[in-house]
Structure 1
Amino acid sequence: MNRVAGKVALVTGAGMGLGRAAALLLAAEGAKVVTSDIDEMAARETAGLIDQSGGESLSLRHDVSNPDDWPQVMAAVEQKFGRLDVLVNNAGIAIAKNIEDTSLQEWRRTMAVNLDGVFFGCQQGIALMKQSGGGSIINLSSIDGIIGEADLAAYCASKGGVRTLTKAVAVHCAEQRYGIRCNSIHPGYIWTPQTENYLRDLGTLDQEKAKALARHPIGFLGEPNDIAYMVLYLASDESKFVTGSEMVVDGGYLAV
Structure 2
Amino acid sequence: MTNDEQSTRLVLITGGGSGIGRATALRFAQRGDMVLVTDIDETAAKETIELVNAVGGRGAWYRQDVTDATGWQELSDEIAGTHGVPDVLVNNAGILVTGSFLEQSVADWDRLMAVNLDGVFYGSRIVGEAMVQRGRGGHIVNIASAGAWVPNRVAGSYVVSKAAVLMLSESMRIDLSRSNIRVSAICPGVIRTNLMAHGTRAGVSDEEAIRFRDNFAAAQQRFSYAGPRAVARAVERAVTYNLAVVPVNPEAYFIAAARRLAPGLTRYALGLGGLELGESLLSTVDRARLALTGAERRQ
Does TM, scored on the shorter chain, surpass 0.5?
yes
User: 1:140-197, CA deviations, whole angstroms, 9 ceiling, x for partnerless residues?
Assistant: 00011111221111101111110100011111112xx211001100100001111345
Which aligned runs of 4 or more in structure 1 are off by greater than 6 angstroms? Answer: none
Q: 3-state SS of the aligned residue for 2:32? A: coil
Distance change (3 Å), C-alpha of 1:225 and 1:201: farther
User: 1:71-119, CA deviations, whole angstroms, 9 ceiling, x for partnerless residues?
Assistant: 1111122122222100000000001111010010000000000000000
> Which amino acid in 2 is paired with 1:180?
I
Q: 3-state SS of the aligned residue for 2:13? A: strand
Find the aligned partners of 2:216 and 2:97 in 1 and give their Cα distance.
19
> Which amino acid in 1 is paired with 2:193?
T
Q: Which residue of 1 aligns with 2:239?
A: 235
Q: Tell me if structure 1 keeps the 8 A contact 2:95–2:198.
A: no
Q: 3-state SS of the aligned residue for 1:35? A: strand
Aligned residues: 242
> How do 1:1-256 and structure 2 match up within 5 A?
4-130=6-132, 131-174=134-177, 177-197=178-198, 202=212, 205=215, 209=219, 213=223, 221-236=225-240, 239-240=241-242, 242=243, 245-255=244-254
> Which amino acid in 2 is paired with 1:221?
Y
Distance change (3 Å), C-alpha of 1:99 and 1:228: same
Distance change (3 Å), C-alpha of 1:205 and 1:41: same
Compute the RMSD of aligned alpha carbons: 2.4
Between 5-14 and 49-58, report the one with greater CA deviation. 49-58
Bigger CA radius of gyration:
2
Q: State the TM-score, normalizing by the size of structure 1.
A: 0.87
Distance change (3 Å), C-alpha of 1:254 and 1:150: farther
Structure 2: state its 5+ residue gaps.
202-209, 259-299
Q: Tell me if structure 2 keeps the 8 A contact 1:14–1:46.
A: yes
1 or 2, which has the higher helix percentage? 2
Find the aligned partners of 1:227 and 1:4 in 2 and give their Cα distance.
20
Q: 3-state SS of the aligned residue for 2:90? A: strand
Q: Which residue of 2 aligns with 1:217?
A: none
> Which amino acid in 1 is paired with 2:152?
E
Find the aligned partners of 2:180 and 2:119 in 1 and give their Cα distance.
22
Q: Which has the higher contact order (CA 8 A, sep 6+)?
A: 1
Following superposition, the deviation at residue 30 of structure 1 comes to: 1.3
Find the aligned partners of 1:208 and 1:55 in 2 and give their Cα distance.
32
Following superposition, the deviation at residue 212 of structure 1 comes to: 8.4
Find the aligned partners of 2:28 and 2:67 in 1 and give their Cα distance.
24
> Which amino acid in 1 is paired with 2:184?
N
> Which amino acid in 1 is paired with 2:33?
A
Distance change (3 Å), C-alpha of 1:41 and 1:182: same
Find the aligned partners of 1:137 and 1:160 in 2 and give their Cα distance.
17
